[in-house]
């Protein structure tokens, strides 16, 4: 199974099966159907109000509590149901624009996963928005 990260607005179906990792569902129209929800990767609503360092500490604690095996089982079940071995873990954060406080739980997960499994979880390159001529 291959894991990637991206954001809802930049995902393209050719990239793999889209997986929700956000506690809230997108309130905007998606031009694709989600393949599943990775609940073990979702932060809590309370965490959304935290600064980066406390958020990071709590999020890593949650990942550790769930463990690699349970997370892998959840993601594998989504991949099997979607008939693919490529999952794209999605959230709302736009990491393409430089920001002084630019951080995101999907990249925190990617770092944690690589530390625990040795498996990289690349961020998919931002694709330009489609134009009239695409």
Total domain count, the chain:
1
Domain-located, residue 132: no
pTM of the complete model beyond 0.85: yes
Domain-located, residue 16: yes
User: Half-sphere exposure of 126 toward its Cβ, with a 13 Å CA cutoff?
Assistant: 8
Domain-located, residue 93: yes
pLDDT of residue 134: 46
Mean pLDDT along residues 74-102: 87
Residue ranges making up the domain that contains 97: 2-117
Domain-located, residue 103: yes
Domain-located, residue 124: no
* pLDDT tens readout for residues 15-58: 999 999 999 989 999 999 999 999 999 999 999 899 999 999 99
**Cα–Cα–Cα angle for 124, 42, 32, rounded to 5 degrees:** 50
């Amino acid at each position: 199974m291959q894991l990637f990260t991206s954001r809802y607005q930049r995902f393209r179906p050719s990239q793999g099966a889209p997986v929700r990792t956000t506690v809230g569902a997108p309130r905007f129209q998606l031009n694709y159907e989600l393949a599943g929800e990775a609940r073990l990767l979702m932060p809590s609503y309370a965490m959304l109000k935290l600064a980066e360092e406390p958020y990071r500490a709590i999020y890593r604690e949650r990942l550790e509590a769930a463990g690699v095996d349970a997370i892998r089982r959840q993601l594998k079940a989504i991949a099997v149901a979607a008939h693919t071995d490529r999952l794209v873990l999605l959230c709302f954060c736009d990491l393409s624009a430089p920001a002084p406080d630019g951080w995101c739980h999907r990249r925190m997960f990617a770092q944690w996963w690589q530390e625990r499994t040795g498996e990289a979880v690349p961020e998919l390159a931002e694709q330009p928005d489609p134009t009239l001529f695409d």
